[in-house]
Chains A and B, each alone.
Chain A
Amino acid sequence: MSRDGRWKSGRGPCRERTLRSLGGWRGVALLAAFAAATTALALMLTSHGALAAGRNSTTPIGSGPSAAPLAPLHGASRFALDISNLFWIILAESGVVFFLVILALAINIVRFSHKPGQDDEPKQIYGNRRIEVAWTAIPAVILLVALVLTIVTMNAVNSPAHAASALKVEAIGHQWWWEFRIPKYHVVTANEVHLPVHTLVQVDTTSVDVIHSFWIPQLDRQIDATPNNHTIVYIDADRTGTFPGACYEFCGADHAWMQFRAVVQTPARFQAWARREAGAGASPASVQGANGQSVFFSQSCASCHTINGTPANGTAGPNLSHVGSRWGIAGGVLPMSERNLERWVRDPQIYKPGALMPAFDLKKSDLHALAAYLYSLK
């Protein structure tokens, strides 16, 4: 195999002809057939979903009341801020590294591209041990700095001072909703938890079914809620407001709608909320509400749901004592309203396929009454 000489001739490695003369009609036909086949396949894949979605394409899924978006870099607690500060430091460090690599690459491209008439092979360089050692050692130092910062921040976030006196909150993942308990105030609620500002809160997470992940991006670090395990995170909010949270570990069909809200309040307001939340559900104030309550007990609702102060004490589903006061229904899949409660009770499977709650085929008047009763549970 003698030297081929392609490079020496200064030509490209292959001659070009026009695109049209290359392929001919057969190429175009093949391409068209391929495009048609892929489109057909895509349509087939989507048709199942389109059918399922067709039923509820007008429902206002997920358009709950606005809160700040899930934004981990806009921390509202010292732990989230510690982490976002670290993020910017590491990003800056990385930016310098990236810039240097791009600089070297740009110089390579500008200076060392092959020029016409450059026939000889360039100088053959095999390596340089000193350079190799240097560019092994320098990144090691950079990474060591990052590692030290890592450990410092980890300790700050995971083991804060005075952890023993923190307010204890339990977050229990279910497919697909969050149960919250605050034992000190006997609070049992779902999908919305209130927290006192400037107070260290310890959240103990677990799950009753599959692995979930508990995270209020602006307030705490992400932590998995795993069955048979308990994990701990800390929150110390530094301002009041409503902060969205969500499940971040894939947990089944409706992982997308396992959201919740954390409402950070002044300690006084928080205590008022906690007392009300632990108290009995409101008695029906209207005839329709009273009818709704009797529907609630004549159907099987009470076997899965609890309403404080009534015989309903089921625990498979969310506690409904104050359901009407919450921001949304079923992990944010519907905003809270009487009409939406009605939709949900009639056929939850439209909104959350696979949810444990069955559909209730009730008379229209019963459905209205039940929704009115539930909505009145503020």
Chain B
Amino acid sequence: MATITREEVYPRLPALRTNEGLLSWIKTTDHKRIGILYLVFSGAFFIVGGLEALVMRWQLATPNAHVVSPEVYNQLFTMHGVTMIFFVVMPLLIGFANYFVPLQIGYRDMAFPRLNAMSVWLFLFSGILMYMGVLEGTLPNCGWFAYAPCTEHPFDAGAGSTFWAIGLIVAGAGSIATALNLIVTIIAHRCPGMTLRKMPLFVWMVLVNQFLIIWAMPFLTGAAVMLLFDRFLNTHFFIGPKSNPVLYEHLFWSFGHPEVYIMILPAFGMMSEIVPVFSRKPIFGYTFVAMSGVAIGFISFIVWAHHMFTVGMGTVPEAFFAATSAVIAIPTGVKILNWLATMWGGAIRWTTAMKFAVAFIPLFVIGGISGVMFAVVPIDYQTTDTYFVVAHFHYVLFGGSFFLILAGIYYWWPKITGRMLSEKLGNVHFWLTFIGFNLTFFPMHFLVGMPRRIYTYAPDSGWGPINMIASIGTVILFVSVLVFLYNAYVSLKKGDLAGPNPWNAWTLEWATTSPPAEYNFATTPVVRSRRPLWDEQHPESPDWIHEDNVTVPAGTPPSAVAPPVEDVKPKRFVPAQQLMLFFISSEFIFFCTLMVMYTVYSQHFTSSQLNIPLTAIFSLCLWASSGTMILSERRLRVDDKRGYYFWLITTILLGATFIAGQAHEYIDLYYRHYGLSTGPSTGGTVFGTVFFVLTGFHGFHVVIGLVALLIILFMSKHWSSKRDLPVTVVSYYWHFVDWIWLLIFSLAYLRTLIPT
């Protein structure tokens, strides 16, 4: 089965004219064009988010200013955060990943080009959705984190928070789709010889990042879904006498802290590409640089509550999160030191890309140091939600991520456009950005004491002059953006031609034309080391001698003792299977958020009203359907079509029986008044909230599984022992919805049998 390719399963669609005009950009599935779309759309959002910042700084420049009303100011800071995080930094990095991952791994496109196209349009439309509220006059206005209950209906009756939740659910779907796509592309389509140990560091960091996305996003989706239920269906997740709004904070930051690394890891990867090229040396300590990224990825999932040190969690949990937060500083520091060591002994070329990359180091260290200070819990008590924090995260995200994004733009622009950017204008751009950035954000460190998110302040607060300086810095940043746009315009019109490898760099994207042809490489490249182009230019001392510890006997050319090129194709699963398995892991996290809420709130009710024996019978149907699905697949593999039909239809009927059982149960509970918002006792409201949402979402997934099975059934004439991949992939999903029910059934039903 592993020998079957996608093309064999799905005959190619009739060729479309894809090379001309605006329409070609809309229907494109070329990863490079999609990458450009990501960059252009996020550039547009950057302008919007930047203007929002400009207005905010205008308002804050002087005390008691009346540039905007408090309501508008709150919308501005919310949308500035939401825009910059979800619609600028994240998609810019994803755009670069889209464009350069296939090139760097020597493949012709992403693993799933059409899914890729879907992702970019989901991203654009989710951004537009987020701004939809402007038609009604209420953009989201409770901060990018949208803490409940501030976003609950009684406190925010406008449409803003609704658009926030829906926009981020859609954006999350797009991000997860593209993350799955990148993971599978990197795992399944690296060129021969590119083992994980020889992968470019940008690809490494993108890979780690996509795992963060698929495992962190579901927390946000869960929180947003619960918020929507609260707002529209009167559930009581985060509002009401038994609710605990702190749970929202936990859910949000379980996503929110990995998100911080989602916004920096690929930028670290860019740094690890740019610094070696312009220092003319290989990266120092490749393994440590790559593995520190992996370590950051793992640890980022256990540090979330350091955003919540003022919640009053108690000393023990606070000490735990202080420790993990301190630990995550270590791999980050290792990276900084390795970049410094890479420069050491080099011959540094001060291109604009290198200037931005090097400026990143002190700026990120300042942000990192203030970050470590927040890990020292008592300091966090005294600085959180003040402008000290605003200074900190702008040093990390602007001085960190965004400086590297700018470095990446200058580095890869010639590859994307085929033309050079002006170094002279680049120099002006760099210095304006560097000065403007520091003028804006360094003074904010001295505003410790000034609360964040206030629309104005009193004249006797003493904050006026510092705020004025910061506002002047913002104007300089604004000018720097204009200089860059001018530079880009000039370059596109009449920039110098770049040629395939203007920087004399070493990774595979520089081995093809600028811009690359639609198929990327005329022949599939073969690599033996991390710097294939170095090997080609220096046959006397190729990198693989050091990487593989090869001893070259004196007098022989290294090529005579070159080790064989390793085949890196995964043996066990084909891309579609990988996609489904990783998707299931993401779905599992989503169910975990629901199950956690159920567990926490179950202290407020008894579920004695549940008919456990009856539900057990229906559950047995569901679990049995998992077995019949396996039988169906087995029959198909021996080309027994009748057996296949029999067991597949049995599976569908068993699944439908389960849904019918659930419907019966819901109707029964409904007539006994266990609704979402009303109930026989106050406990009923909490029970209704968590029970119906948890089991309802499972039922919803079963229905989706049934629809997928029906599609498989109706397309049955295509399937045979040689073409069973779609059946296999759908069966994975079906097994997942069957067996996640075991957890839910145990939690919601069986657990009530245990006497307390």
A positions within 8 Å CB-CB of B: 1-4, 6-7, 12-16, 19, 22-24, 26-27, 30-31, 34-35, 38, 41-42, 45-46, 48-50, 52-54, 56-57, 61-64, 66, 69-73, 80, 82-84, 86-87, 90-91, 94, 97-98, 101-102, 104-105, 107-109, 112-115, 118, 121-128, 131-132, 135-136, 139-140, 143-144, 146-147, 149-151, 153-155, 157-159, 175, 209-211, 213, 217, 221-224, 226-229, 231-232, 246-256, 332, 353-354
Chain A hits for B511, CB < 8 A: 1
B366 within 8 A of A: yes
* Choice from A22, A49, A150, A249 contacting B494 with Cβ under 8 Å: A22
Interface residues of B in 454-510 (CB under 8 A from A): 454-463, 482, 485-486, 489-490, 493-496, 499-504, 510
B369 within 8 A of A: yes
Q: Are B281 and A122 in contact (CB under 8 A)?
A: yes
The CB with the most chain A CB atoms within 10 A, among B70, B242, B348, B482, is that of B70
The CB with the most chain B CB atoms within 10 A, among A61, A91, A128, A151, is that of A151
* Choice from A64, A121, A248 contacting B385 with Cβ under 8 Å: A248
Chain B hits for A139, CB < 8 A: 329-330, 333-334
Q: Mark B349-360, 1 if CB is under 8 A from A, else 0.
A: 111000000100
The CB with the most chain B CB atoms within 10 A, among A35, A87, A128, is that of A87
Could you list 16 A-B pairs, sorted by A, with CB under 8 Å? A23-B486, A49-B69, A62-B458, A72-B448, A104-B344, A109-B348, A121-B280, A146-B372, A146-B375, A154-B378, A210-B147, A210-B155, A247-B451, A253-B71, A254-B70, A332-B458
The count of A-to-B residue pairs whose CB atoms sit within 8 angstroms is 382
B29 within 8 A of A: no
Q: Are A38 and B501 in contact (CB under 8 A)?
A: no
Chain B hits for A153, CB < 8 A: 377-378
Chain A hits for B54, CB < 8 A: 42
B204 to chain A, nearest CB (A): 15
Given the known inter-chain contacts A112-B348, A250-B453, please indicate yes or no for A155 contacting B315, CB distance below 8 A. yes
Q: Are A211 and B334 in contact (CB under 8 A)?
A: no
Q: Are B149 and A125 in contact (CB under 8 A)?
A: no
Given the known inter-chain contacts A1-B533, A101-B361, A254-B70, please indicate yes or no for A222 contacting B382, CB distance below 8 A. yes
Q: Mark B186-218, 1 if CB is under 8 A from A, else 0.
A: 000000000000000000000000000000000
B296 within 8 A of A: no
Chain B hits for A211, CB < 8 A: 147, 149-150, 245
B681 within 8 A of A: no
Q: Are B482 and A3 in contact (CB under 8 A)?
A: no
B610 within 8 A of A: no
Q: Are A221 and B489 in contact (CB under 8 A)?
A: no
Q: Are A124 and B282 in contact (CB under 8 A)?
A: yes
Q: Mark B321-339, 1 if CB is under 8 A from A, else 0.
A: 0110011011001101110
Q: Are A62 and B457 in contact (CB under 8 A)?
A: yes
Q: Are B493 and A27 in contact (CB under 8 A)?
A: yes
Chain A hits for B423, CB < 8 A: 12-14, 16
User: A221 to B386, alpha carbons, bound, how many Å?
Assistant: 13
Chain A hits for B381, CB < 8 A: 83, 157, 221-223
Q: Are A113 and B350 in contact (CB under 8 A)?
A: yes
B284 within 8 A of A: yes
A263 to chain B, nearest CB (A): 17
Given the known inter-chain contacts A101-B365, A209-B155, A250-B147, please indicate yes or no for A132 contacting B285, CB distance below 8 A. yes
User: A276 to B64, alpha carbons, bound, how many Å?
Assistant: 35
* Choice from B373, B453, B460, B533 contacting A91 with Cβ under 8 Å: B373
Q: Mark B307-323, 1 if CB is under 8 A from A, else 0.
A: 00011100100110011
Given the known inter-chain contacts A46-B55, A135-B333, A228-B245, please indicate yes or no for A83 contacting B457, CB distance below 8 A. no
* Choice from A64, A140, A224 contacting B330 with Cβ under 8 Å: A140
User: What is the chain B residue whose CB lies nearest that of A82?
Assistant: B378
B66 within 8 A of A: yes
User: A80 to B47, alpha carbons, bound, how many Å?
Assistant: 42
B243 within 8 A of A: yes
Chain A hits for B141, CB < 8 A: 253
User: A348 to B541, alpha carbons, bound, how many Å?
Assistant: 78
A311 to chain B, nearest CB (A): 29
Q: Are A127 and B287 in contact (CB under 8 A)?
A: yes
B68 within 8 A of A: yes
User: What is the chain B residue whose CB lies nearest that of A232?
Assistant: B312
Chain B hits for A30, CB < 8 A: 489
B241 within 8 A of A: yes
B680 within 8 A of A: no
B653 within 8 A of A: no
User: What is the chain B residue whose CB lies nearest that of A229?
Assistant: B246
